[in-house]
Amino acid sequence: MKIGLNNFIVELHEHQIEWEQNANETIECFRNMFGNLIVAVEHIGSTSIKTIKAKPVIDLVVGIKDFNKLDEIMEKMEISGLKYCPKRDGPESRMFVIGDLNGILTHIIHLVEYNGNEWNNKINFRDYMNNNIEKAKEYESIKIKSMKNNENNVSNYHKSKEQFIIEKIKEANNWRKEVTNK
Read off the pLDDT of residues 58-76 as tens digits, 9 standing for 90 and up: 999 999 998 887 888 999 9
Q: What is the tens place of the pLDDT at every residue in 138-161?
A: 999 999 999 999 988 899 999 999
In which band, very low, low, confident or very high, does the pLDDT at 1 lie, cut at 50, 70 and 90?
low
Structural domains of the chain, count: 1
What pLDDT, on a 0 to 100 scale, did the predictor assign at position 127? 98
**In which band, very low, low, confident or very high, does the pLDDT at 7 lie, cut at 50, 70 and 90?**
confident
pTM of the predicted model, to two decimals? 0.94
Could you tell me if 95 and 111 are in contact, meaning their C-beta atoms sit under 8 angstroms apart?
A: yes
Which pLDDT does position 69 carry in this prediction?
Answer: 79
Task: CATH number of the domain at 22, please.
Answer: 3.30.460.10
| Domain extent at residue 90 | 5-180
| pLDDT digits 0-9 by tens, 84-129 | 998 778 888 999 999 987 889 999 999 999 999 999 999 999 999 9
34: closest CA among 82, 71, 69, 77? 77
